[in-house]
Amino acid sequence: MVQITGKYQLVENKNFYEFMLAVGAPEERAKAANKTGSILEVSVEGKKIICKNESPQYVTELVLDEEVEEKMPPDLVLLSTAKLDGNTITVKSKLKDGTPASVRTWVFGDSQLDSTITAEKDGKTLSASRIYKRI
């Protein structure tokens, strides 16, 4: 099985800026989030998955197979459930009112992490991906 724990550097975004704008992020926030080079540190402690993002700086703590409150910058709170299947973590998130928000899929490899996010907006499926190299 591939090691999940580690540090990853964002090296490429595909449609991420456009995705952020489409889901309602302000342009300045979308531009900042679209920059490459930031570091993501992922650790696993039992059923807990901890993701520390360098820029913007925030920490996400998920618990496998349990719904938890996930605070996303700047002030969004999601109810998220993470599942682990081999080298893939899938996180399904919804708003507090139960409205589906997004599905994130993280596929861990020996040298990289491929992250995909999808969301529905106005009857359309939006998606973006981010590629991180293991450092």
Q: For 72-105, how does the pLDDT look when each residue is reduced to its tens digit (9 = 90+)?
A: 867 789 999 999 999 999 999 999 999 899 999 9
In a domain, 18, yes or no: yes
Q: Is residue 24 part of a domain?
A: yes
- Residue 127 confidence (pLDDT): 98
User: 128 is in which domain, residue-wise?
Assistant: 6-134
The tally of domains found in the chain comes to 1
Q: What is the CATH number of the domain that holds 37?
A: 2.40.128.20
The verdict on residue 1 lying in a domain is no
Domain-embedded: residue 23 = yes
Please tell me the pTM assigned to this model.
Answer: 0.91
| Helices (H), ranges, 4-121 | 16-22, 27-33
Residue type, 72: M
Q: Is residue 28 included in any domain, yes or no?
A: yes
12-62 pLDDT, tens digit each = 999 999 999 998 889 998 998 899 999 999 999 999 999 999 877 889 999
In a domain, 12, yes or no: yes
